[in-house]
Chain A
């Protein structure tokens, strides 16, 4: 099972990005193999449509959960139809390594 996390940087010490569509990096974490992959977000400076484009990018990686601080209004309907779970964390200080630790419970 793969989980996507929005991140402000490309290290494990970076904090979670509170935006989904325009985050700096996506972290793809594989729960089985514990592999971590950092994907730079090509849509971070997009004028519009960053959210749906990011959903497509993430969905192509067969991710089953997305962790972010906030999701835009177009996102929930898209992810519901793709059966991807949303997890919202309102704490901007949370580090990627902490989240991965929580996920490997």
Chain B
């Protein structure tokens, strides 16, 4: 039986460097073979330890399942630890990845297009050749279904005042305009 096909991992930002070299007096006596850190392992490390996302959020960003993400992350740490302890080089290369491309919008013909060649910027619309192009943010255009829209309410337990919950704002940080009490979250049952 053939093994399961690996899901292709999404890498948002490719690394700025190709690897790391150890330095010190005895580095030439150590073994020369570098540790191969895959792109997806670099990305896992970046999301988790640099951007401080949790494994679930990071797995969504890379387009893999949470257990797969944790496995990639564990491999990344093992390889880096091995390189540190044994004093070998780290080479960042390979892996089943693709580099995510950004969306653009043309104002003259109204089309949307992406730019798979990250290194070269876009100056004109590939369809009509017009220079009137702008970055198009898919998530901010109201298409972000990953997190779902929330129709919860905040309510005041003292006077019963209610207002629509604002995402990203904690309810207990908001103050009731009538009795100056802390607000609480009221779940909208229809959403569950």
Contact flag A90-B110 (CB < 8 Å), given A65-B126, A67-B127, A77-B8 = yes
Q: How far is the CA of A75 from the CA of B76 in the complex (A)?
A: 28
Contact indicator A86/B63 (Cβ below 8 Å):
no
Contact indicator B113/A88 (Cβ below 8 Å):
yes
Q: How far is the CA of A53 from the CA of B47 in the complex (A)?
A: 32
Task: Name the residue on B nearest A98 (C-beta).
Answer: B109
Q: How far is the CA of A86 from the CA of B114 in the complex (A)?
A: 6
Q: Mark B100-144, 1 if CB is under 8 A from A, else 0.
A: 110000000111111111000000001111000000000000000
In the bound complex, residues from chain B placing their C-beta under 8 Å from that of A81 are: 8, 97-98
Say yes or no: is A47 at the interface (Cβ < 8 Å to chain B). no
Contact indicator A77/B98 (Cβ below 8 Å):
yes
In the bound complex, residues from chain A placing their C-beta under 8 Å from that of B128 are: 102, 105
Q: How far is the CA of A81 from the CA of B99 in the complex (A)?
A: 7
In the bound complex, residues from chain A placing their C-beta under 8 Å from that of B115 are: 85
Q: How far is the CA of A103 from the CA of B130 in the complex (A)?
A: 11
Contact flag A80-B113 (CB < 8 Å), given A65-B126, A99-B127 = no
Q: Number of A-B pairs whose CB atoms are under 8 Å?
A: 55
Number of A residues, CB within 8 Å of B: 22
Say yes or no: is A79 at the interface (Cβ < 8 Å to chain B). yes
In the bound complex, residues from chain B placing their C-beta under 8 Å from that of A84 are: 116
Contact indicator B109/A102 (Cβ below 8 Å):
yes
Q: How far is the CA of A99 from the CA of B113 in the complex (A)?
A: 14
Contact indicator A85/B98 (Cβ below 8 Å):
no
Q: Which residues of B contact A (CB under 8 A)?
A: 8, 10, 63, 97-101, 109-117, 126-129
30 contacts between A and B (CB under 8 A): A65-B126, A67-B111, A67-B127, A76-B114, A77-B98, A78-B8, A80-B99, A80-B101, A80-B114, A81-B97, A85-B114, A85-B115, A85-B116, A85-B126, A86-B113, A86-B114, A87-B111, A87-B112, A87-B127, A88-B111, A88-B112, A88-B113, A89-B111, A90-B110, A90-B111, A90-B112, A99-B127, A102-B109, A103-B127, A105-B128
